């Protein structure tokens, strides 16, 4: 059975593929301990484990434009240099907001 989140991710990926993006791997996945209101971090105890990363990456053929798709957000950005300093955000949308994603992709053409 497909969840709404999975459907939204599939629609976002389909929109990227139709706009000329190709799969480009996945982001690194990390499990870290984060503080919560009920359980703040105290030394190495407290908080709760959270998983970050593991987003699907895409690259637009022949450009320096890339995208990542995750359960919550879809980000489109441009690489203009080395490291994080070279990343220039274009747009970040709720993955379930297909209309906003389509509008951003149309603006890239």
**pLDDT for 109:** 66
**pLDDT for 44:** 66
**pLDDT for 65:** 96
Domain range for 9: 4-27+55-108
Does a structural domain hold residue 45? no
Does a structural domain hold residue 48? no
Does a structural domain hold residue 12? yes
Number of domains in the chain: 1
Does a structural domain hold residue 11? yes
**pLDDT for 4:** 92
Can you spell out the DSSP letters for the chain? Answer: ---HHHHHHHHHHHHHHHTTEEEEEE--EEEEEE--SSS--BTTBSSEEEEEE-PEEEEETTSSEEEEE-SSEEEEEEE-SSTGGGEEEEEEEETT-HHHHHHHHHHH-
Does a structural domain hold residue 93? yes
Does a structural domain hold residue 49? no
Provide block-wise average pLDDT over 10 residues at a time, the chain (109 residues): 87 96 91 82 74 89 94 94 89 94 91
Does a structural domain hold residue 22? yes
**pLDDT for 74:** 96
Does a structural domain hold residue 71? yes
């Amino acid at each position: 059975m497909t969840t709404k989140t999975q459907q939204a991710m599939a629609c976002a990926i389909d929109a990227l593929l139709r706009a000329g993006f190709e799969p480009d791997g996945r982001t690194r996945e990390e499990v870290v301990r984060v503080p919560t209101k009920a359980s703040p971090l105290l030394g190495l105890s407290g908080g709760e484990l959270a998983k970050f990363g593991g987003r699907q990456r895409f690259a637009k053929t022949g450009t320096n434009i890339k995208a990542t798709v995750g359960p919550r957000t879809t980000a489109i950005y441009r690489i203009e240099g080395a490291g994080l300093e070279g990343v220039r955000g274009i747009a970040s949308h709720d993955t379930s907001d297909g209309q906003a994603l389509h509008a951003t992709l149309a603006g890239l053409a």
